[in-house]
Chains A and B, each alone.
Chain A
């Protein structure tokens, strides 16, 4: 049984159908990516899973319907989102941001902070700095660190490479791989298809609100059509 499964998921914005009935699943321990052009419905799909957008169709997480649940209840179930554009609390310190990631928990969070700082040493250096003063890459790291504070089983990452310098993008993806190795399942939405496919086991290709292709990352990398449209070669 899949860790996450979407069945005929649809998202509407007023009269516009952004996601037109997609079905897919993710197994425990996988890194799966959704790739596609701007406006293909990737982010809408992810936001719908995180319950930040109303949708129709079924979303099952660990065999439980979550499409009827409010967004804030998901983190306690182990489903965390790193939002598009990072969404760090800019006027709070790094430490306060991390603490908010564990807001729903009532137990001690020191061990988790240490773990995040081990994984993201730059954050440790800047623990008392305001998040707004961090570089884009550091903010992305902070957003990931904050999501990890909720001890997720499934991490939804929305465009983690957006607006970052190439070197920083590499670093962010290294971190994503490390998190995956520690046993967190990852669903990644990414416009940088090459990077996404290099990182993932499997990929779904979205076009115009539909999933048009699913294959292993290796096969997608060699698929001539994908190479032409998304990999630019």
Chain B
């Protein structure tokens, strides 16, 4: 039974891009690729926010670090052209180091204070990237870095979006595997203990400082991998891809899906990537059909509906759309 389920999921994952391409076109395969990138980001943030309970509003900074790390080492900008398999692990490591850099000064902070500091950190990274074109041109400033080497072989009869899809799926599976292992590990239990009661966690002999830093580093490294893939996929990076709104979006995916629950987080990420796009494409024609003209700009309407959806979900499913079983019990009134 279980093996059949796994086979079913595996088959679905394998044929999905071809089906999507045949029925909806290449643009939707591209969207699917983005959904997978957001799944990686959401799973990384889930470690920090969901497992360890540390509210991080600057998470996208690690995505930026990973993306620029890839861009600098595989583009004409410095004339360096490393292969993707060499850059990704190093990018993960670099992002992890940045995670520790963020974590170390914020160890004593919790909740809203931590949120403010991480928010600041996210902005600092973005502003640095935006301005590091002088005195030495490291990031090429607001113009961004273009002509980044693609991460997959191009020129094959199969569209590169599909190749990226498989690359991303493999890495998502790897990240899910690591996430599940972490959750059931000694350190995973320590994260949960810190989330629940830091003082009691210390009394239990948990080295809270190191364990928290591990959460920041782990989460950041997932973000770094996603960033590297993003750079290779887009073949272009610029600071505007890494704004505060992106951090907020990833946080929404985690919260909406079900904090601390890996399947829920994946669901949240896929939904929040795909649904707005469906809406964006259908809102205009739908208004055209009903009113004969486009009354409201689909882009503005999208944010409105997104906000309403968030409120509705938080009102009726405060633990998220697909929460952990135990979490659900807790939110149900006795």
Contacts and interface: CB of A to CB of B under 8 A. Distances in A.
Interface in B50-68: none
Tell me the dominant secondary structure on chain B's binding face: helix
Nearest to A89: B196
Contact of B205 (A76, A91, A96, A99): A76
A75 interface: yes
A50 B203 contact: yes
Interface string A115-146: 00000000000000010110000000000001
Contact of A87 (B186, B192, B197, B207): B197
Contact of A103 (B190, B196, B199, B327): B190
Contacts of A88: 197, 200
A185 B327 CA distance: 38
A189 to B, nearest CB: 14
Interface residues of B, number: 22
A99 B192 CA distance: 12
Contact of B327 (A83, A91, A104, A147): A91
A130 B186 contact: no
A101 B204 contact: yes
B330 A103 contact: no
Interface residues of A, number: 31
A150 interface: yes
B131 interface: no
Best-buried of B204, B208, B334 by chain A (most CB within 10 Å): B204
A136 to B, nearest CB: 15
Contacts of A93: 326
B200 A103 contact: no
A147 B204 CA distance: 7
Contacts of B196: 89-92
A100 interface: yes
B202 interface: yes
A73 B205 CA distance: 6
Nearest to B329: A130
Interface in B193-231: 193, 196-197, 199-208
Contact of A89 (B193, B329, B330): B193
Contacts of A176: none
Contact of B192 (A71, A76, A81, A89): A89
Contacts of B206: 72, 100, 103-104
B115 to A, nearest CB: 21
A172 interface: no
A96 to B, nearest CB: 7
A14 interface: no
A74 interface: yes
A72 to B, nearest CB: 5
Given A91-B192, A103-B205, A104-B206, 12 more contacts: A52-B199, A52-B202, A72-B207, A89-B193, A89-B197, A90-B196, A91-B196, A92-B192, A96-B189, A100-B190, A103-B206, A133-B334
Interface of A: 50, 52, 70-76, 80-81, 83, 87-93, 96, 99-101, 103-104, 130, 132-133, 146-147, 150
9 contacts: A52-B202, A72-B208, A87-B200, A88-B200, A100-B204, A100-B206, A101-B204, A104-B205, A104-B206
Sorted nearest first, the 3 A-B pairs with minimum C-beta distance are A87-B200, A104-B205, A75-B205
